[in-house]
């Protein structure tokens, strides 16, 4: 059986109001997911209520764009927010439990933003 899901795009500025609404309406926090794209990092926030997932995506985030933490409403998000900071270079501000870039020890900074030469060639060819 598939879990029904609804998807929406949101802005960075809309994230605090979204997290407040999700908490007020009784949604459960599920995860924060980051994906490296051509336009930057897409950051997805997933919540669940009554067996339905609601996924909200902020598209094209770059290190210069700070994203507010949602840990004031959903403390469990601190794990995901530290992870997307360390692995993708997403600038999450005001995390309740902030590891300051030391959540993961990596051989080089933001390893999930590195693309292989084959991926780079394929992207250039596609353009």
- The CATH number assigned to the domain holding 61 equals 3.30.460.80
As a whole number, mean pLDDT of residues 2-18 equals 95
- Of residues 47, 46, 38, 35, the one with CA closest to residue 90: 35
Query: For residue 1, what pLDDT is reported?
Result: 73
- Summarised one tens digit per residue, pLDDT across range 85-103 is 999 999 999 999 988 877 7
Domain span at 25: 5-126
- Summarised one tens digit per residue, pLDDT across range 22-31 is 999 999 999 9
- Classified as helix, coil or strand, 2 is coil
- Residue 71 structure tokens: 């840990």
Domains identified in the chain, total number:
1
Query: For residue 116, what pLDDT is reported?
Result: 62
């Amino acid at each position: 059986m598939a879990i029904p899901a609804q998807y929406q795009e949101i802005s960075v500025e809309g994230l605090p109001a979204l997290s407040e609404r999700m908490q007020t309406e009784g949604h459960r926090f599920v995860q924060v997911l980051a994906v490296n794209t051509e336009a930057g990092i897409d950051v997805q926030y997933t919540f669940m209520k009554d067996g339905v997932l609601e996924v909200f995506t902020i598209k094209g985030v770059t290190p210069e764009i700070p994203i507010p933490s949602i840990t004031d409403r959903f403390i469990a998000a601190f794990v995901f927010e530290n992870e997307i900071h360390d692995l993708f270079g997403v600038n999450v501000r005001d995390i309740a439990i902030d590891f300051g870039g030391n959540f993961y020890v990596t051989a080089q900074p933001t390893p999930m933003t590195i693309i292989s030469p084959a991926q780079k060639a394929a992207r250039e060819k596609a353009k």
